[in-house]
Amino acid sequence: MVEMDRPRDLQHLYPLCLHSDPGLEESNRTLTVDVANLASEKEELNNKLKHIQQKLEKIKEEEKQMKSLTVSYEKQIQVEKTLKIQAINKLAEVMKKTDGRPQQINNTDIRRKEKEIRQLQLQLRTEKEKLNHSIIKYQREINDMQAMIAEESQVRLEMQMSLDSKDSDIEHLRSQLTSLSIHSLDTTSISSIGNDLDSDEAYPDKRLSVKETDSDKAEVQLISQKYQLVVQLFFPTKFVDAIILTPITLPMNARVPWKK
């Protein structure tokens, strides 16, 4: 078996692959630019998505703190309300006792106690109103935060869908680049085969010579080099590297299929 090693330098074959058809070269250049633009847009969308996620986490943390503060205020107001109710009840008990013994309490004390009761009732109503206003305010803020979270989640979903679409576009453009590279390789190979056939017709005796095997080897090696060059230029992946590193072998008596 004859083994053909991977060529060290394939850059001189690149014009043969791309300049065989100006239309293919222009399409290749356009698709390459499109892929670069889509990759840039994808990176920008990723950065925006990351920023939105950070903002969303901050809003959730603020909402948690607001809920904790609301619970604390409610507990504090409830304690104050309980204390004031107890004070009012105590005053009511004192008033009942004074009703049983009117001779021991003068009118001045009664009016003072009634005034204290009215003041306590007024304070109680004031505290209730403050509590209701605080609850309404915090509930409104919580609703606003929930609406903001829903909006940020929708934006995040739309950006994720846009990223998925960009990935699909990039894969499609890479597929088109694959088709262009294969078509360019086929065009170059056919042109090279035509030149070899013309050479064989001009010198028919050469096909019968002992040098035919070396010519076939050189031809197959040239096609292999062009194929490996195109694959290297457009598909620098581990899978393609495995293909390129796999040597192409031919039997000693093998003939090139396009040779008569």
Kindly report, residue by residue over 167-184, the tens digit of the pLDDT: 888 888 878 777 777 766
What percent of the chain is modeled with pLDDT above 70?
A: 58
Candidate from 145-149, 152-156, 252-256 with smallest mean pLDDT: 252-256
Kindly report, residue by residue over 63-88, the tens digit of the pLDDT: 888 888 888 888 888 888 888 888 88
**DSSP class per residue in 55-123:** HHHHHHHHHHHHHHHHHHHHHHHHHHHHHHHHHHHHHHHHHHHHHH-GGGS-HHHHHHHHHHHHHHHHH
Kindly report, residue by residue over 102-132, the tens digit of the pLDDT: 445 567 877 888 888 888 888 888 888 888 8
Is the pLDDT confidence value at 4 over 60? no
DSSP annotation of 5 reads: P
Of the candidates 210, 193, 214, the residue with the CA atom closest to the CA atom of residue 260 = 193
> What is the pLDDT, as a whole number, of residue 228?
61
For the segment 242-247, the average pLDDT, to the nearest whole number, is 48
Q: What's the CATH number for 2-250? A: 1.10.287
Strand 2-4 relative to strand 248-250: parallel, antiparallel, unpaired?
Answer: antiparallel
> What is the pLDDT, as a whole number, of residue 220?
61
> What is the pLDDT, as a whole number, of residue 90?
82
